[in-house]
Amino acid sequence: MSLKVLFVASEVAPYAKVGGLADVAGALPKALTALGHDVRLMMPRYSSIDEQRYPLSVAVDTFPVELDSAREFALLKETRLEGVPVYLLENGRYFQRENVYGYQDDLERFTFFCRAVPEAVRHLGWRPDVVHTNDWHTALVAAWLGTSLRADPFFGPTASVVTIHNLAFQGWFDEYFRARFNVVPRGLADQTVDGVSLYNALALAILHADVVNTVSETYAQEILTPAYGEHLDPLLRRRQDHLFGIINGIDYDFFNPATDRFIAQRYDASSLEKKSANKQALQQETGLAVDPRVPLIGVIGRLTDQKGFDLVAQMITPVLEERPFQLVLLGTGDERYHRLFRELAERHRDQAAVYLKFDAALAQRIYAGADMFLMPSRFEPCGLGQLISLRYGTLPVVRATGGLADTVQDYDPEAQTGTGFVFRAYNPFALTIAFARALEAYHQPATWRGLMARAMARDVSWSASARRYQELYEKAIALHR
């Protein structure tokens, strides 16, 4: 059965991107369309979305949106993302701004967007079977579909899904905000459920959406516990029967070592030997010794505690002093990590190159040129770095958490299986052991080639996950009835 799905998100690549959500929003609707579904996207029109670059036409002329006592107006424009209709909601007061987030009134901006979405859909006269919302910014649409809009003749049959990409951000509000914007529909007077405050957009969606999901199966289990639940775990446990996990894919057109225009030498699984030209180019570019035999470890990511950089900080110096390997690190984040890695690069100039910036092209050269990729996250809803690494035959060294646990299989020397090196306990010793195992395997060329071949053979595209989203939508529709 072909489904009508409205995919609602605050960021969609290539129009506006801050993080991984934009990649998902830009890729999943295309993959679902390829399965024969009628999927359409809706997002705010930020002023950074350039009409010169993306041809926009008017889909719905100016229409009113009731927000608080003041009446706002919005306009719906339309463009196409490889055939997928993308609706961009314009409003001068809230979205005539360069950035996606970071304004004092973000809560009000996205509450307005959530109010405007059902109105825009009504004007389109296209009733979706499912509305798929993402993170707190759009979660209120799911919350309202499950409550006040249930009795609405147009939206009554529409099911709702909320996907959690980052549980740490929840859209908290206070009593004044709740009353002013009528966030919580009449009849729902509760201020807490299971001890969790409902002055929180994501909490309301977790409670009222037909289906809640997150971006890996393991993370869907982990967030049921206080250690990972960000204080919402009691609500998630309450909705456990409606909670699912589906791993993200990566865009195979963009992340493809056989066609990547950012790298020195293109290669694929049948020409693995060519990958070494990328290593050589990376060693030259970073000023490290050009030597094919020295293992080169890549690290790319936000320099925060979430990504396990405190573990790296604790183990890296003694390991660098004991073992011959090279490290190339690219990232931005907390100042203390900037300082730490800057000092490390100064102390070990011949072994470590550190780039404290955001550079998408350099990232591609690291994925292609490194032998291994280090990602020891404390928690990881899905993680893209390890997926890109697998695709590029760069073997991930990861902690078994969230999406990392679901996508990297630990190397087993007996069975000659596995696609990387996995450790469990969150401490520097466990990381050091995994790292030592990786270095040891690296010095056995046949073993390493086998690992690379298995890594590159793994399907990390969107096609399997898009099918699972289709099943999730069918579940949401059944549960809605």
- CA 415 – CA 242 distance, rounded (Å): 37
Closest CA to 94 of 109, 79, 77, 75: 109
**Is the CB of 118 or the CB of 385 nearer to ligand ADP?**
385
CB of 172 to ligand ADP, least distance (A): 21
DSSP E strands in 246-376: the ranges are 296-300, 326-330, 352-355, 372-375
Q: Is the CB of 332 or the CB of 447 nearer to ligand ADP?
A: 332
Nearer to ligand ADP among residue 234 and residue 333 (C-beta): 333
Smallest distance from the beta carbon of 375 to ligand ADP, in angstroms? 7
Q: How far is the CB of 7 from ligand ADP (least distance, A)?
A: 18
Closer CB to ligand ADP, 276 or 332, in the complex: 332
State the minimum distance, in angstroms, from the CB of residue 135 to ligand ADP: 12
Give strand ranges (E) for 322-376. 326-330, 352-355, 372-375
- Return the closest-CA partner of residue 18 out of 135, 105, 112: 135
Least Å distance between CB 250 and ligand ADP? 8
Phi/psi of residue 417, each to 5°?
-125, 170
CB of 10 to ligand ADP, least distance (A): 14
Minimum distance, C-beta of residue 23 to ligand ADP, in the bound complex (Å)? 7
Which of 388, 459, 267, 456 minimizes the C-alpha distance to 23? 388
**Per-residue tokens: 333:** 């984040």
Contacts of 160 (CB under 8 A, 6+ apart): 130, 131, 132, 133, 141, 142, 145, 146, 205, 208, 209, 210, 211, 476, 480
Of 123 and 302, CB closest to ligand ADP = 302
Tallying the residues shown for the chain, one arrives at 481
Residue with Cβ nearer ligand ADP (315 or 375): 375
Q: Using CB under 6 A, list all residues that contact ligand ADP.
A: 19-20, 300-302, 330-332, 358-360, 363, 382-385, 388
Contact predicate 325/351, CB 8 Å: yes
Tell me the closest approach of the beta carbon of residue 247 to ligand ADP, in angstroms: 11
Nearer to ligand ADP, 367 or 469 (CB): 367
- Helix %, strand %, coil % for the chain, to 5? 40, 20, 40
Closest-CB residue for ligand ADP?
A: 20
The token pair that represents 74 in the structure block: 């919005």
**Exposed (0-12), middle (13-18) or buried (19+): which is 175, by Cβ within 10 Å?**
exposed
User: Toward ligand ADP, which CB reaches closer, 88 or 366?
Assistant: 366
- The nearer residue to ligand ADP, 13 or 183, going by C-beta atoms, is 13
Angstrom distance (rounded) from CA 261 to CA 221: 39
Helices (H) and strands (E) in the chain, counts: 17, 17
Q: How far is CA 226 from CA 177, 213, 217, 293, 324, in A?
A: 28, 18, 17, 45, 41
Residues 191-214: b if buried by 16+ CB within 10 A, e if exposed: eebeebebbbbbbbbbbbbbbbbb
Nearer to ligand ADP, 33 or 166 (CB): 166
Contact between residue 288 and residue 361 where contact means Cβ atoms under 8 Å apart: no
**Closest separation between CB of residue 374 and ligand ADP, Å?**
12
Give the nearest distance from C-beta 307 to ligand ADP in angstroms. 7
